[in-house]
Amino acid sequence: MESLMNAFSLNNVAYSYTHQSVIENVTIEIAQGKLTVLLGRNGSGKSTLIRLLARLISGYSGSIQCTGKELSSWNSREFSQMVGYVGQHHRPIFPFSVEDVILTGRACYVDFLPSKKDHDAVDEIIHELDLNFFRNRIYSELSGGEQQMILLARSLVNKPSILLLDEPTNHLDFTNQNRILTLIKTLVKKGITVISALHDPNLAFLFGDDILFLYNKNVLRDDENKAWDSPLLKLIIPSFDVISDGNNSFVIPQRN
């Protein structure tokens, strides 16, 4: 019964690319209703774990449950309606408008042609995220930050209860990083569970409700210490200093 409280429950999960092991013996629970951040070095398995949870790759060993149900047992359409995913890269072949890109997010509801309900859902999310200015613009002509907002809208148009994000702030400037993560926190306050890979520890500390550290092919949680005081952080960033403004703490690399 306890597993129903979690968005995902992993038990002894391992995954390898060909002969390269990426994660091994991972046992962890990810709660619903929080922004859970996956924090680790490049190549630590953050993207792999996100893609496993999104059912984009298979062939793992062990057990992964989503809201108490084995991941492999989910009907594809039902899973796509419940779980949204935004990857690091999206390069459309055709010059789609923003409205059309968002509409593709309704694919798991469409049998042949989009219905009025699908178009109404697009209108609703465009209004909710204040994207009407972009509606008729060509997606590929937008900036990186603008494209990321559109991809979030495409995932949210299904009203998912769980959102999986792979480095949503990658290549974004300071302003757009803050804009994207502020939006994500707003979604969490509305009841959406968000699991996001990030590489910046300060963004993880500022916005994350729960921090999972990926190190040495495992996924670790420190329930005893603040993230910036955790010995686990020292495994990811061996040399750093902590500064505080009284309300928040930040890590900076030590200078030689």
pLDDT digits (tens, 9 = 90+) for 93-110: 678 899 999 998 887 777
pLDDT of residue 2: 43
Report the 10 Å Cβ neighbour count for 187.
16
Q: Determine whether 73 is exposed, middle or buried from the number of CB atoms within 10 Å of its CB (0-12, 13-18, 19+).
A: exposed
pLDDT of residue 252: 83
- Helix (H) or strand (E) run with residue 103 in it: helix 98-103
Over the stretch 44-98, which tens digit does the pLDDT of each residue have? 999 999 999 999 999 999 999 999 999 999 998 899 889 999 988 767 667 889 9
* pLDDT < 50 positions in the chain: 1-4
Strand-strand pairing, 35-40 and 6-17: unpaired
pLDDT of residue 3: 41
In degrees, to the nearest 5, what angle opens at C-alpha 128 toward C-alphas 203 and 67?
A: 65
The pLDDT > 90 percentage for the chain reads 54
pLDDT of residue 228: 77
pLDDT of residue 7: 96
pLDDT of residue 218: 94
pLDDT of residue 53: 97
pLDDT of residue 14: 96
List domains and CATH numbers for the chain.
2-253 (3.40.50.300)
